[in-house]
C-alpha cells in the first residue's frame, strides 16, 4: 500500500506541472498581444529592409560621383560662397 505522503507528493507534482503549462500559455498569449490602440499607427524610426531612405538631395560625395567632378565642394551647402547683390561702397 502507498503511503499518504507519496500520494500527496505525486498529486502536488502533477498540479505543479499543470500550473507551469498554464503559466507558459498565459505568458505566450500575453506577449503576442498588441499594445497599439486601434486607429493609431506604430512609429518606426528606421526604414524597412530593402527600402532606401527618401531624401531631397543626395550627399555631396554622391553628387560628385554622379557628375564626375573632382571636388564635392560645389555640391556642399556650407562650401558655397555667398554672393551679395549689392556692391560694397568704397
d(C-alpha 73, C-alpha 71), whole Å: 5
Over the stretch 11-51, which tens digit does the pLDDT of each residue have? 888 888 888 999 999 888 887 776 666 666 666 667 666 66
Read out DSSP for 12-27?
HHHHHHHHHHHHHHHH
- Find the angle CA(81)-CA(69)-CA(64) to the nearest 5 degrees: 80
Over the stretch 69-81, which tens digit does the pLDDT of each residue have? 888 888 887 766 7
Predicted confidence (pLDDT) at residue 88 exceeds the cutoff of 60: no
d(C-alpha 76, C-alpha 5), whole Å: 83
d(C-alpha 63, C-alpha 79), whole Å: 14
Amino acid at each position: 500500500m502507498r503511503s499518504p505522503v507519496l500520494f500527496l507528493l505525486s498529486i502536488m507534482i502533477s498540479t505543479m506541472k499543470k500550473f507551469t503549462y498554464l503559466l507558459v500559455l498565459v505568458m505566450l498569449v500575453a506577449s503576442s498581444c498588441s499594445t497599439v490602440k486601434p486607429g493609431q499607427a506604430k512609429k518606426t524610426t528606421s526604414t524597412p529592409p530593402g527600402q532606401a531612405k527618401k531624401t531631397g538631395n543626395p550627399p555631396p560625395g554622391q553628387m560628385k560621383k554622379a557628375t564626375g567632378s573632382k571636388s564635392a565642394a560645389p555640391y556642399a551647402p556650407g562650401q558655397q560662397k555667398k554672393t551679395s547683390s549689392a556692391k560694397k561702397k568704397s
